[in-house]
Structure 1
Amino acid sequence: MKIAFVLLVLVNTIWASSGQDMTTTWVGIVCLFVFVIGYYMVATEENYHINKAKPALFMGTFIFVLIGIYNVINGLDSSALTRSVDHLILEIAEIFFFLLVAMTYIEVLIERRVFDTLKYNLVSRGYSYKKLFWLTGALAFFISPVADNLTTALILSTVLITIEKEKPTFLVPGAINIVVAANAGGAWSPFGDITTLMTWMAEKAPFTDFFYLFPAAFLGWVLTAWLLSLYVPADKPHFDVSTEMRVSVLKGGKVVMGLGVVTIVCAVLCQQLFKLPPMWGMVFGLSLLKLYSYQLKRRHHEELNTFKSIGKIEHDTLLFFFGILAAVGGLHFLGYLDLAVKLYDSLGATTVNIGIGFLSAIVDNVPVMSAVLKANPDMSMDQWLLVTMTAGIGGSLISFGSAAGVGVMGKLRGIYTFGSHMKYAWTVLAGYILSLVVWYVQFEILDLY
């Protein structure tokens, strides 16, 4: 179905093309074909036993190679291609280093037994799988507006896998719940998601007005969580006091937690006050972690090797992001993403903004939102808030439609997959529709914003 949708986009683009872009050339058609095949391999990784990073990395790099070949054959100036790639490298590098630091902190917290301690405290209290399901989801929803949806999803999925490692009836709904909650929580905060941050920095809506999206985001998540909870077993995780040794945080673990909070604050301050990319604050936070590891070893002879923690992170997840962002950047350079913007004139802002949510799940919300902002259609603030919400929440419809989903797939490898997600995708769709209904009643009927 998704391949058919992409092919439909191709047909519509060729029909609508004025001949001023590259969508009707052989390189445009071949690159789109490469993207469709690569996307199919990513979506069906469990069927072919191929890691999603491999096809993503291939299609992301090969598309630009094909564009370069096309320019050479036709004797075209490649300066525009060079500028586009330079900009794309900068964009990818910012995301790459942001994720690198976030994943490193998580690995250090795992090594300091922070998550094992949290798991012990939760399970030892006799909480059922259903209660643990709601607790992890609620934490994801309310932490992501302060941290960000990806970091929140990585932390809570780590807690999830430490609670239970072998029960898919708990892990899969729990993973989906965390992804949906993290994305929904990030949608009503100016720095809870990359898309909201982009919209805020473009001055499409004031800082406080993003909070008006809370009812739509919250109720949409609650509906999805309730539907998912129907499939969560009612029993409790196995816990035997006589065999389960009490776990406590190792020395320095609480300080690392504090440094993690400081790092997130630094990332926000760099963006808001200093006009530096959030990645800069994250890397500064990594430097603080490394300095603390030196002090911990010197004074307390406690080893905290951050390089070992970096070696344990999911590098395939980072390479997947590189490939996907490069591939979408290539399609944008060819002119395909411009089609979504042209539809505003013919279909209307509300219809297109709702469709953006589905498109962001299939492609990626960051370049889609970037294309909308660059085109700058004439929309009122309520419409800009709508497209911000749909781009953020819509990514939950598919497992790798958002950064949070990709991060959780890496943490729950072989358990939370594209196929396992799609079995419950209808619950996410139900929540997405409810969010749209709440937005419409609040913004368009009651004018409560």
Structure 2
Amino acid sequence: MIKLLIIMLSFSFAFASSGGGSPEVIPDLTFTWVGFAALVIFVIGYYFVAMEEKYHIDKAKPALFIGTFMFILIAVYYMLNDLSMDLVHTQAQHLILEIAEIFFFLFVAMTYIETLIHMNVFEKLKYNLISKGYSYRKLFWLTGFLAFFLSPIADNLTTALILSTVLITIERSKTSFLVPGAINIVVAANAGGAWSPFGDITTLMAWTAGKGAFTDFMFLFPASIGGYLVTAFLLSKFVPETQPDFDVSTEKVPELMKGANRVIALGVITIASAVLSHQLLHLPAMWGMMFGLALLKIYQYRLKRKYNSHLNIFESMSKIENNTLLFFFGILAAVGALYFIGWLGLAAVVYDPSVLGPTWSNIGVGILSAIVDNVPVMSAVLKASPDMGLDQWMLVTLTAGVGGSLISFGSAAGVGVMGKLPGIYTFSAHMRYSWTIFIGYVVSIAIWYVQYEVLGFYIKH
């Protein structure tokens, strides 16, 4: 029982990927003073991350502090006990490489999104949606489907932020539309992100850790969309069928900047470059992304020469949510420290058939994702790296992504939308409809089971 409690506690920690270091030569520090100190520091730091709204402290601050401080403590312990400092140096180097892959991938993706925002692409999208005279219920479905299919390309957080802005543009006070609509966007963004290697930070980590090829994630599409559609159908029953007030004649039609369509095309080429770099050339996915950034910079030069365009990519970079990038750096570094100490090795025990086994453990990961946030939970699984087949790695990818929707702060998308709709989309408002999400979660798992375990419909490596 004590072992199980330790395992569940360790699942609340995050990731740094499945590589890095040789366990047989790294001393186990779990029950030393530095082991317990690191555990306490992580729990306290993560408390302040979770309570960001209460204390009005940016989540990047505690995450960055614990990530850096924990490794400093480990280095001090090694120095005081005359252990090999080369182990610390090597582990830190591996960790930096692993974080850099995620960091630069997100950096380029965010730069493209900010550039498209600057070029009025999303303003045009908003206008096209609200000028058609659609009812609230139709707008509910449209924003949901947009979130589901945009998320695999733009990532779930960016998608949720964009479409929650669309929601608040359509209607600013009618909670009967805004609350179900916000939940719909969060669920759709998370479900859509689950079947793409770069739709969510959790799938990106699983992909870069080599737990599945690019095409393997595509086989999660039936489970992702099936669960989403069930939840959306149930939620839609609470949305009014009336139309929002909107006078087309008084609204100015947004104009796209010169070259906007080609920047969209460059974004597609950039994603393709990332996939090809990782799958065919065996380079990190971020290498293809950085190549895409180079293409964007070159195209900016052409726009400047031909149209005297005021597009400035460095200005787009300045608008990136750096706190999100620093949060990931800190949390991944903290998990790397916990792995180095030895805590995350305990997590693999729960996957033993004599305890829970992989299927029930992976279903539990989804539930825990809602409470702790799906990034650290998925990260702990990757770092513990239990012995599982492709079917089970795809299940945990699905449950970590979809399960994060069960509670409003269980995913980056949910936290982002809470910030966009303060006082409207709240924890309690979300929980009133959480039963619809749980039903969709169960449906997603059922579809996975039939597809993978009964029919065997996936690529077996």
**Matches of residues 21-170 of structure 1 in structure 2 within 5 Å?**
21-145=28-152, 148-149=155-156, 152-153=159-160, 155-157=162-164, 159-160=166-167, 162-163=169-170, 170=177
Aligned residue identity for 1:384:
W
* TM-score, length of structure 2 as denominator length: 0.82
Compared CA separation, residues 216 and 59, structure 1 to 2 (3 A): same
Q: Give the SS at the match of 1:242.
A: helix
Q: Look up the match of 1:278.
A: 285
Q: CA deviation at 1:238?
A: 3.5
Matched position secondary structure for 1:316? helix
Report the Cα distance in structure 2 between the residues aligned to 1:84 and 1:410, rounded to whole angstroms: 36
Q: CA deviation at 1:300?
A: 1.1
Distance 1:442 1:200 in 2: 21
Report the AA paired with residue 39 of structure 2. L
Matched, 1:188 2:172: no
Q: Deviations over 1:11-66 (max 9, x none)?
A: 999xxxxx962222222222222222222212222111222222222222222222
Corresponding residue SS for 2:282:
coil
| Comparing 72-81 and 122-131, the one that deviates more | 72-81
**1:291 & 1:96 partners in 2: Cα distance?**
22
Tell me how many residue pairs correspond in the alignment.
440
Query: Could you say which residue in structure 1 is the equivalent of 2:438?
Result: 429
Higher mean alpha-carbon deviation, 253-262 vs 432-441, is at: 432-441
* More moved, 153-162 vs 137-146: 153-162
Which shifted more, 401-410 or 253-262?
401-410
Corresponding residue of 1:16: none
With 199-208 and 250-259 compared, the bigger mean Cα shift is at 199-208
Relative to structure 1, the CA distance from residue 12 to residue 128 in structure 2 (aligned partners, 3 Å threshold; closer, same or farther) is closer
2: distance between equivalents of 1:194 and 1:439?
21
Residues 11 and 347, structure 2, Cα contact 8 Å, conserved in 1 = no
Q: 1:376 offset after TM fit, Å?
A: 5.5
SS of equivalent residue, structure 1 residue 24: coil
The answer for unaligned runs of 5 or more in structure 2 is: 14-25
Q: Could you tell me how far apart the structure 2 residues matched to 1:112 and 1:75 are?
A: 57
Candidates 405, 412, 416, aligned match of 1:396: 405
Counterpart residue number, 2:366? 357
Q: Tell me: CA distance 1:197–1:53, structure 2 relative to 1, closer, same or farther (3 Å).
A: closer
Match of residue 340 from structure 1: 347
Give distance in 2, aligned partners of 1:396 and 1:211. 20
Instruction: Give me the whole-angstrom Cα distance separating, in 1, the residues matched to 2:402 and 2:307.
Output: 45
Instruction: Give CA-to-partner distance per residue, 1:287-326, whole Å, 9 cap, x none.
Output: 2222112211211112101111111221211112112212
Structure 1 gap ranges (5+) = 14-18
Q: Which secondary structure state, in structure 2, belongs to the residue aligned with residue 22 of structure 1?
A: coil
Task: Identify if the C-alpha distance between structure 1 residues 222 and 379 changes in structure 2 by more than 3 Å, giving closer, same or farther.
Answer: same
Q: Conserved in 2, the CA contact under 8 Å of 1:337 and 1:368?
A: no
C-alpha displacement of 1:207? 6.2
Q: What is the distance in 2 between the residues matched to 1:39 and 1:246? A: 45
From 211, 236, 239, the counterpart of 1:229: 236
Equivalences for residues 403-418 of structure 1 within 5 A: 404-405=413-414
Closer, same or farther in 2 for the Cα pair 1:31/1:171, shift >3 Å? farther
Letter in 2 for 1:353: N
- Given that 2:408 and 2:415 are in contact with CA atoms closer than 8 Å, whether structure 1 keeps it comes out as yes
Between the two structures, name the one with larger relative contact order (CA 8 Å, sep ≥ 6): 2
How many Å separate the matches in 1 of 2:297 and 2:96? Answer: 26
**Scaled by the length of structure 1, what TM-score is found?**
0.83
**Residue 422 and residue 310 in structure 1: after superposition, are their counterparts in 2 closer, same or farther (change >3 A)?**
farther
Contact 1:46 1:417 survives alignment (8 Å): no
CA contact (8 A) 1:106 1:155 kept: no
Identity of aligned residues (%): 66
